[in-house]
Structure 1
Amino acid sequence: MKKVIFLLFTIAGLNVYGQSNINEILAAGLDDAERFTNDYLAPVSEGAMHSISNGWYNHGEAKPLGGFEISIIGNMANFKDKTDKKTFELNTVDYENLQFDDGSTSKMVSTALGDIEGVMVYVVGEIAPGVNSREDFELPAGLASEDVNFIPSAFIQASIGLFKGTELKARFLPKINTEEAAIGLYGVGVQHEFTQHLPAEKLFPVAISGVIGYTHLDGTYDFTSTNIIAGEDQRIDMKMNTWIFQAVVSTKLPIINFYGGLGYLSGKSTTDILGTYTVQSGPFQETYTDPFSLNKDAKGVRANIGAKLKLGFFRLHADYTLADFNSLSVGLNFGFR
């Protein structure tokens, strides 16, 4: 069960963020900490928005009035081969205080998705006339260093047929709480089948529809104080909102059907670094309260292809999405009509 909880929390990059003691970066000063944290967290936020936006449909045909389906859906947004999402260039010219321990001025370092370890940095400054203080620490690695190369999401989804050609959908992940973290998800969507409006729609071998879906995720992670940073109530609060707009086409066969879609994703995440942080070592010993907030957008065209197997009340589906983060979605479905 602990492994399942771990995977769910990596959706928002919260677990790896806390484990890596990234709050130590505040020892470099508030501006440097905000710049680094933004570059470090941005890719995992973007990937998570792609992951939670999958799974809105498994057929182009809308359910008839009273027809329903309940699904358990899991998604995996892959980043194994995405070097541009796993690393970023840290140029000390852009920072006020942060320096590489080996004297480099520019170096590729890990994002929250990456696996570059052992990058040592330091800050130095005068704390009294003629007296300098220096603090050394290691930059955090990311999920790939833990042999995790995908961002997962999972939820329960229900669909019900309303008036002709229209299907209402809702998804939900009840709030999961552990000692250090909490995460929850909900969303609502609608699918409308255009082929139902054609005079001889039953004669057409395909169904064509449009899907709009909205998903909201929120998560928190309380992380432990380090030797460098003391304080109270230190936590990350992350919120994500995504929209998808998709055109879908599928076959209309009794047992197995194939479907595909083309559309657009728009999303935004907000990450608040909350609590009190007291830098108690190094040249910049200050106390920060709720130091900063980070925003990340995700936008782009997406296309997918999949198949659905229907065996009476029981159904299975799987599809693969091509986007900025390619992803796999699988679902176990129970339905009527």
Structure 2
Amino acid sequence: MKKFFLLLSVLLGSIITTAQDGFSDILAAGVEAGERYSNSYMAPAGEALSFNLSSGWYDDARVLKPGKFKIQVKAHGTFAPDSKKNFLLDPAEYEAIIQDSYDNTNNPPANIEVSFGDGSTAPRSIATALGENAMEQQLIIRSREATSGILLQEDVINLPNGLGNEGLDLVPTAFLQAGVGLGAGLELKARLVPKITFEEAETSLYGVGLQWEFTKLLQPSDDSTLPIAASFLAGYTRLDASYDFEDGVVVDGANQSIETQISSLNLSAIVSTNYKVLNFYGGLNYYRGTTQTDLLGTYTFASNTVIFPIAATVEDPISVDTDINGFLGTAGVKLTLGAFNINADYTFGEYSTATASIFFRI
């Protein structure tokens, strides 16, 4: 189930992995510490998927003739830079966060200590949702009575791996994309993954785009052709995903779920050659992507932890947001064999994306 769901929504799948590998432990360290860790762990996955959904809107600067239709099966793979596969976790930073959270409770005065499982307190590179830990990593959180130094509580948090531990070195997506010629140099595009429900997981994707081939204005007649074509394109993609935990499996509580919304806007200037069989195309793209992931429901900690030594309940405790924008460059090739077409391209950026598709024109 995990690998299937990762293919549909890497971001949501990463959070599920966190839950399976000790999510309750991370949240039990306190909401503030849990949210800080979740942002460091999850943000690169949200960014990668935003880049992924911004890509693949075009395979030609030429648009379809009026009334013509095409349908494509597209596959994307987004590659993260090594710097996004790990983040530096400083135990002293988390010690200060957890100490502050503890001091704001009604618990007896205590001093908080945070170290890695091997006792080290030096900052260490830890896997994000896109990476992999070289070895099992743990955080040890201890509380000691403020006056005597007697150990009151010790919690062990198992830090999760990311996609690298699943054997994936990229963020994959796949969906259907269709286009129809409207005339006046315009082509309407749409992309879709119908709502899919698999066990407790649900995901859907939709998008709409409009491409305008403005070089048609430069043609002296409908029968003449220019050696190149140029166009503008605007495209918007939205992915919605959710996962309902079986209440009480992760932490005691009710209505426990994760919801993710990813939106991506792409504006492109495109040029391509204008031949019958083999063509090359490229584009300059402006993108804007936002991601919001929320951990919803109530979570009750009935057993002793450093922050929750007695029963306590938190509601909708964690939210992770990303907002990215910038420019990307795309270069690709397209082979046309009658109504059958194959294309492949590569989009260059902080997160680079390879795209391939096969499609038919009617």
Whether TM-score is above 0.5 comes out as: yes
Instruction: Give the structure 2 partner of residue 115 of structure 1.
Output: 132
Q: Could you tell me how far 1:8 is from its partner in structure 2?
A: 1.8
Residues 76 and 60 of structure 1: CA distance in aligned 2, closer, same or farther (over 3 Å)? same
**Which of these two proteins has the greater Rg computed from alpha carbons?**
2
- Aligned partners of 1:282, 1:325: CA distance in 2, in Å? 39
- Aligned partners of 2:9, 2:142: CA distance in 1, in Å? 35
Instruction: Give the structure 1 partner of residue 10 of structure 2.
Output: 10
SS of alignment partner, residue 162 of structure 1: strand
* AA partner of residue 159 (structure 2): L
SS of alignment partner, residue 168 of structure 1: strand
Residues 227 and 312 of structure 1: CA distance in aligned 2, closer, same or farther (over 3 Å)? closer
Instruction: Give the structure 2 partner of residue 259 of structure 1.
Output: 281
Q: Could you tell me how far 1:34 is from its partner in structure 2?
A: 0.6
* AA partner of residue 158 (structure 1): A
Counterparts of residues 189-208 of structure 1 (less than 5 Å): 189-200=209-220, 202-208=224-230
Residue by residue, what CA displacement relative to the aligned partner does 1:99-136 show, whole Å, maximum 9, x if unpaired? 32313141111111110141111222369996611111
Instruction: Give the structure 2 partner of residue 149 of structure 1.
Output: 169
Q: Residues 346 and 353 of structure 2 are in contact (CA less than 8 Å); yes or no, is this contact kept in structure 1? A: yes
Q: Residues 127 and 133 of structure 1 are in contact (CA less than 8 Å); yes or no, is this contact kept in structure 2? A: no
- 1:91 and 2:90 are equivalent in the alignment: yes
Instruction: Give the structure 1 partner of residue 102 of structure 2.
Output: none
Q: Could you tell me how far 1:11 is from its partner in structure 2?
A: 4.9
Q: Could you tell me how far 1:225 is from its partner in structure 2?
A: 7.2
Counterparts of residues 121-140 of structure 1 (less than 5 Å): 121-125=139-143, 132-140=152-160
Residues 73 and 14 of structure 1: CA distance in aligned 2, closer, same or farther (over 3 Å)? farther
- Aligned partners of 1:245, 1:205: CA distance in 2, in Å? 24
SS of alignment partner, residue 84 of structure 2: helix
- Aligned partners of 1:175, 1:43: CA distance in 2, in Å? 25
- Aligned partners of 2:171, 2:151: CA distance in 1, in Å? 47
* AA partner of residue 150 (structure 1): L
Residue by residue, what CA displacement relative to the aligned partner does 1:24-83 show, whole Å, maximum 9, x if unpaired? 20111111011110110000000011112221111001112111111111101012xx22
Instruction: Give the structure 2 partner of residue 283 of structure 1.
Output: 306
Instruction: Give the structure 2 partner of residue 321 of structure 1.
Output: 347
Residues 125 and 158 of structure 1: CA distance in aligned 2, closer, same or farther (over 3 Å)? same
* AA partner of residue 113 (structure 1): L
- Aligned partners of 2:307, 2:246: CA distance in 1, in Å? 20
Q: Residues 340 and 359 of structure 2 are in contact (CA less than 8 Å); yes or no, is this contact kept in structure 1? A: yes
- 1:20 and 2:46 are equivalent in the alignment: no
TM superposition score normalised by structure 2: 0.86
Q: Could you tell me how far 1:217 is from its partner in structure 2?
A: 0.3
- Aligned partners of 1:224, 1:126: CA distance in 2, in Å? 35
* AA partner of residue 123 (structure 2): S
Q: Cα RMSD over matched residues?
A: 2.3
Q: Could you tell me how far 1:273 is from its partner in structure 2?
A: 0.8
TM superposition score normalised by structure 1: 0.92
Query: What number of residue pairs does the alignment pair up?
Result: 334
Q: Residues 318 and 331 of structure 1 are in contact (CA less than 8 Å); yes or no, is this contact kept in structure 2? A: yes
* AA partner of residue 28 (structure 1): A
SS of alignment partner, residue 183 of structure 2: coil
